[in-house]
Amino acid sequence: MKFGDIVTCVASISVIFALIAFPLEMVWFSALGISGMTHCGYIVSLIISLFLSALISGYIFAGKIWEARRESITKIALLWAALVMLFAIIVPAAVADWGLSVKEEYLAMNPGATLSTSEWVTWEYMSLDMFTFLMVCVALVSGFIGLYIGSMLRRPAKS
C-alpha cells in the first residue's frame, strides 16, 4: 500500500467520523445523558464513532489493505492515531470551559484544596496528557479492530 493510499484512507476515516459522530452523540446523549463526571453519552458515542469510521474505511479500502495486510493496517492506524492526537491536543484550547471543568473535577475529588496558579497549570497539563493518552489508545485499538474487521468483510476474490 502506497503512502498516498494510506493518507487517503485516513482522510476517509476522518470524513466518515465527522459524518457519523454528531448523530451518534445525539442518540447516546438522549439515552445516557450528559451530566456526571464520566459524560457517558459522549464517551460511548466517541468510541463507537471511532470504531465505525475505521470499520467502514477498512471495508472501502479492503482491496488495498489485503496487499500487505498487517503492515497496511498498522500504518493506517498509526497515522489515524496521530491525527486524533493532534485534535485531542487542540480541543482544550478551543473549548472555553476546559480549564474550569478540570478545576471543578479536581476540587470535587479534593474538597478544600488550594493550589497555586503554577500548580493549577501543572494539573491542567496532566489532565490534557491523560485526555490525549486515552484518545490515542482508543483510536489505535478501534482503528486496528475496525480496519481488520472491515477488510475481512470484503475479501478479495481468489484468482
Tell me how many domains the chain contains. Answer: 1
Digit-coded pLDDT (tens) for 98-155: 888 888 888 888 888 888 889 888 988 898 899 899 999 999 999 999 999 999 998 7
Residue-range definition of the domain harbouring residue 107: 3-153
CB under 8 Å to 127, separation ≥6 — which residues?
A: 102
> Does 159 fall in a domain?
no
Q: Is residue 52 part of a domain?
A: yes
CB 10 within 8 A of CB 77: no
Query: Cell 458515542, residue?
Result: 45
Mean pLDDT computed over 80-90 = 92
93/90: higher pLDDT = 90
pTM above 0.85, yes or no: no
Residues in CB range of 77: below 8 A, 6 or more apart: 54, 139, 140, 143, 144, 147
